[in-house]
Structure 1
Amino acid sequence: MKTIYKLSIGLLFLITACGDDLDQVPPNKAKADSLTDFSGVLNAAYYYQLGAVTPMAIMGEFRSDNAFMFEPPYTEFDEYDNGLPVMEDDFFGPFYTALFRSILSTNIVIENSSDATEIGEAKFLRALSYFKLVQVFGDITVNLSPDPDFTDTSILVRRPTSEVYDNVIIPDLEDAIAALDVEIVDGRASSLAAQSLLGKVYSFRGDYANAEPFLAAVVDGAEAAGVSLKENFDEIFGAQNEVENSEIIFSTQIERSIVDEYSPASRFWNWFVGDDSKSDFPVDADLIAAFDASDASGGGTDLRRAVTLNDDGLTAVKFPKEGDLGPDHDWIEIRLADIILLYAETLNENGAPAAEVLPLLDDIRARAGLNSLIGTISSQAEVKQAILDERRLELAFEGQRWFDLVRTGTVDAEMGETINANYHVFPIPISEILATDGVITQNPGY
């Protein structure tokens, strides 16, 4: 249901930031302490997530071995050097600004609302925002105030990633789990979404021991929450499948009539289907080879190929741009297959035997028309590779590939070259560095 982002013009003016730097406190036309109803401010926090969608999709796919650019300077995504900052206006700036605006909106709700559910949703969104920021940039500025005083520039100093996890992301998600219901209503955050995200957070940190119970809770509790794998892979994607989709745990809802930080530039599906001239045929041959390998080893044709790629394999059609429905594709942040595969990976990393781990892949592989892996592999290394291969094909063009490679330490092996770890993250927008007179610093290598 597309109800969350239909905000009034007045609300947008209230919440919209004052400038391009971090001074993004709502104007003093209506201070937070004069409000009694914070539902609109919470809606704004959801709304600002839209501006991060296309940049995250591009970074997750075009930096990886799933997709590539044709036109300079966009080809810098495949060149692991200091060239990416030239695309600040295209990707990194809108991403950074949108998420900090969402964070400021959540801070207002958390500080002022008396509604426990509103606060729980706000904490989920704040955690989601900071998780995306640390995935993309590493160390990041932290602001937990609804009315920060930026004349004190010390609050702009980037905080270590570990500190952001420990002091913001993890506590916020723990609070969200406690505050929210398991039922998913109108696409809003739920306790299941918060458990899923916390499992992903611990996995991204390499803390599989702490990841396991949260991922297990999602896998074991999905059915009771009305969450299940769709019978057919092609029933997950496309605007016609977004309403009450049983596999989607959380998505960022998109509606063409709502302008965001990235508008009016092309949306994520334009880049994937080749409608943007920077990459007319974006699919990397390595991804096609991966589907070929899946066919050969799986005992059939991997049915995900036809849903993910067009007939010639040159463009990605998972989110098809057909007719009037195309521009309304929601961005899937978390779905059940993602969590099942991550849970399998976690069990394997924690030493569970292949006979316990591999059955988790069966329903996903059967849906794809492939045989079970039970009895075909047994070592921890083999199982790890099988799960990573499965994640690649299952989640292709859902913005996760590059971050999976970084998370699992497989960048060099999968990309086929040695890549300096400086370029595992992306450049801080230069506009933020200049606006703060260098208090906010650039990532090494850029």
Structure 2
Amino acid sequence: MKFIYLVLVSTLLITACDNDLDQSPPLELEASKLDQFGPVLNAAYYYQTGVVMPQAVMGDFRADNMLMIENPFTSMDTYNSDLGGGDMTGAFFSPVYSNLYKAILSTNNVIENSLVATEVAEAKFLRALSYFKLVLVFGDVPVNLSASPSTSDLSILVRQPKEDIYNNVIIPDLQDAIAGLTNSGLATGRASQIAARAYLGKVYMHRGNYAGAATELGAVVTNATAAGITLEPNFADVVTDTSSEIIFATKISSSVANASGSSSASTFVGWFAGADTKSSTPLDPRLTAAFDASSAAGGGTDLRKALTIDVANKTGIKYTGGLEQDFIEMRLSDVILLYAEALNETTNATGVQSAAILARLDAIRTRAGLNSLVGTALTQADVRTAIAKERRLELALEGHRWFDLVRTGTVDAEMGLTVNPNYYVFPIPNSEILATNGVITQNAGY
């Protein structure tokens, strides 16, 4: 049965003026009055549902997979200050910012006060996940590690360098989660040890720590089967709610409004399917061309194309679960591709290991109806390009593409234009800047 986060309004952390760090639980949730922190932990999971749609849209519509066609939403496909407009902020950036800080406040409460070790470990996973998403989207952000932050000390609102957030919050929290969790949460959509390890590996990739990434990602690949995680034999099943390769997913139910107030967080499905006038024909022809190139070079038809996009109607069709569609945050294919990339960066400086590294992608390629890449790329640079192409097509419409381009420094090369690095991140909601009298500052360029 689908694990649903039924969180009553009285258990949610309420904001005084919807200023994301100026929050405190209502009186009945004061730590001194609580001896059960399960509902507070559930709230941290629930707030992730408010991030799903903008996260998915930013990952693919900002890149070269999907397009916006209606103003002002076309600014998602351009790279200037227009993206900071009110309509865009309300639809995408405010929900990410506010819900992740609400999740963080919930996790802080659990970390400070729960006496249940597994609850604390889950909370650390979710706090790390929330800050990871924040720095990917906004870069430097304020840091709050308290369940009851001061409402008078505005220094807590000053944005901290993302490098410090990685080193002082995200990485230590994930390490603690690995130490404190088992894999029992996989079946219910909870945090697990293998999910924490997968995210730590991904974080290391974003930090350029390829050796650390190879260690963590390699452990995930090695231990996946024992944890019950295997590649789906049919690509049509990779993002279904029961997919065997899910490592972590944000669970969705049409019977529970998401944290942004929509009837379902699965509104992200509609954006890809062209169900919104802002993007009724969202398919970017460059994604079609990439699939066709894959077929031409792969010795067969790339089966992922017909299961991902509808060329005739210019839409995305990867998701078939409708309003019950969970958002797959991390799956085994993602980890395998990252692991191959990490190995290429750490052990393949002369191209000697190219065949062994590319062979790790054979199962993904075979499932797609394509030949092995072994022998097609010999140098480290060519292997890097081959893996990047595979990631794009394997993970298309799953919210990864833009963040991969930024991570690998290939925005200009892949987008075919020069993009000011200011626009690698997204604008801080103006409401936060105004509410703090400018203590929270805007990203350059917006």
Report the alpha carbon displacement of residue 11 of structure 1 after superposing the two structures with TM.
2.0
In the alignment, which residue of structure 1 is the partner of 2:231? 229
Structure 2: tracts of 5 or more residues without a match? none
Report the alpha carbon displacement of residue 267 of structure 1 after superposing the two structures with TM.
1.0
Q: Residues of 2 paired with 1:211 and 1:270: CA distance?
A: 34
Q: Residues of 2 paired with 1:30 and 1:231: CA distance?
A: 46
In the alignment, which residue of structure 2 is the partner of 1:54? 53
Report the alpha carbon displacement of residue 28 of structure 1 after superposing the two structures with TM.
2.6
SS at match of 1:107: helix
Superposed CA offset, 1:179-198 (max 9, x none): 00034231111000000000
Contact kept? 2:68, 2:76, Cα under 8 Å: yes
Partner AA of 1:185 in structure 2: A
RMSD of the TM alignment (CA)? 1.2
Report the alpha carbon displacement of residue 338 of structure 1 after superposing the two structures with TM.
0.2
In the alignment, which residue of structure 2 is the partner of 1:336? 332
Contact kept? 2:428, 2:442, Cα under 8 Å: yes
Report the alpha carbon displacement of residue 259 of structure 1 after superposing the two structures with TM.
1.7
Superposed CA offset, 1:37-63 (max 9, x none): 101110010000000110111111110
Contact kept? 1:233, 1:304, Cα under 8 Å: yes
Percentage identity across paired residues of the two chains: 57
SS at match of 1:396: coil
Partner AA of 1:432 in structure 2: E
Contact kept? 1:355, 1:374, Cα under 8 Å: yes
In the alignment, which residue of structure 2 is the partner of 1:68? 67
In the alignment, which residue of structure 2 is the partner of 1:131? 132
Contact kept? 1:4, 1:46, Cα under 8 Å: no
SS at match of 1:69: coil
Q: Residues of 2 paired with 1:441 and 1:10: CA distance?
A: 32
**Is it true that 1:158 corresponds to 2:159 in the alignment?**
yes
User: Structure 2 length normalisation: TM-score?
Assistant: 0.96
Q: How does 1:304-323 map to 2 (within 5 A)?
A: 304-312=304-312, 314-320=314-320
Partner AA of 1:253 in structure 2: K
**Is it true that 1:107 corresponds to 2:108 in the alignment?**
yes
Q: Residues of 2 paired with 1:125 and 1:235: CA distance?
A: 26
- Within the candidate set 343, 347, 355, 1:347 is matched to 343
Report the alpha carbon displacement of residue 24 of structure 1 after superposing the two structures with TM.
2.1
- Structure 1's 185 and 401: CA in aligned 2 closer, same or farther, altered over 3 A? same
Q: Residues of 1 paired with 2:7 and 2:440: CA distance?
A: 32
Q: Residues of 2 paired with 1:88 and 1:377: CA distance?
A: 42
Q: Residues of 2 paired with 1:156 and 1:311: CA distance?
A: 46
Contact kept? 2:4, 2:253, Cα under 8 Å: no
Superposed CA offset, 1:281-302 (max 9, x none): 1010000000000000001110
- Structure 1's 304 and 295: CA in aligned 2 closer, same or farther, altered over 3 A? same
In the alignment, which residue of structure 1 is the partner of 2:77? 78
Contact kept? 1:141, 1:159, Cα under 8 Å: yes
Q: Residues of 1 paired with 2:444 and 2:194: CA distance?
A: 37
User: Structure 1 length normalisation: TM-score?
Assistant: 0.96
Partner AA of 1:103 in structure 2: I
Report the alpha carbon displacement of residue 361 of structure 1 after superposing the two structures with TM.
0.5
In the alignment, which residue of structure 1 is the partner of 2:39? 40
Report the alpha carbon displacement of residue 256 of structure 1 after superposing the two structures with TM.
1.3
Report the alpha carbon displacement of residue 367 of structure 1 after superposing the two structures with TM.
0.2
**Is it true that 1:298 corresponds to 2:294 in the alignment?**
no
Report the alpha carbon displacement of residue 311 of structure 1 after superposing the two structures with TM.
4.9
Q: Residues of 2 paired with 1:216 and 1:295: CA distance?
A: 29
- Structure 1's 373 and 313: CA in aligned 2 closer, same or farther, altered over 3 A? farther
Q: Residues of 1 paired with 2:14 and 2:316: CA distance?
A: 34
Superposed CA offset, 1:328-386 (max 9, x none): 10000000000000000000011331022001110000000000011121101110000
In the alignment, which residue of structure 1 is the partner of 2:181? 180
Superposed CA offset, 1:12-43 (max 9, x none): 3xx23333212122123431221001011100
Q: Residues of 1 paired with 2:255 and 2:271: CA distance?
A: 20
Q: Residues of 2 paired with 1:132 and 1:178: CA distance?
A: 22
- Structure 1's 310 and 420: CA in aligned 2 closer, same or farther, altered over 3 A? same
In the alignment, which residue of structure 2 is the partner of 1:434? 434
SS at match of 1:41: helix
In the alignment, which residue of structure 1 is the partner of 2:258? 260
Q: Residues of 1 paired with 2:357 and 2:437: CA distance?
A: 51
Report the alpha carbon displacement of residue 4 of structure 1 after superposing the two structures with TM.
4.1
Report the alpha carbon displacement of residue 258 of structure 1 after superposing the two structures with TM.
1.5
- Shifted more, 103-112 versus 178-187: the winner is 178-187
**Is it true that 1:19 corresponds to 2:20 in the alignment?**
no
Contact kept? 1:157, 1:440, Cα under 8 Å: yes
In the alignment, which residue of structure 1 is the partner of 2:393? 393
Q: Residues of 2 paired with 1:11 and 1:442: CA distance?
A: 32
Structure 1: tracts of 5 or more residues without a match? none
Q: Residues of 1 paired with 2:311 and 2:169: CA distance?
A: 45
SS at match of 2:27: coil
Q: Residues of 2 paired with 1:315 and 1:3: CA distance?
A: 29
SS at match of 1:83: helix
Q: Residues of 1 paired with 2:370 and 2:313: CA distance?
A: 20
SS at match of 2:244: coil
In the alignment, which residue of structure 1 is the partner of 2:246? 248
Contact kept? 2:254, 2:324, Cα under 8 Å: yes
Q: Residues of 2 paired with 1:377 and 1:388: CA distance?
A: 12
In the alignment, which residue of structure 1 is the partner of 2:95? 94
SS at match of 2:249: strand
SS at match of 1:358: helix
Report the alpha carbon displacement of residue 313 of structure 1 after superposing the two structures with TM.
5.7
Q: Residues of 2 paired with 1:371 and 1:217: CA distance?
A: 27
In the alignment, which residue of structure 2 is the partner of 1:217? 219
Partner AA of 2:443 in structure 1: N
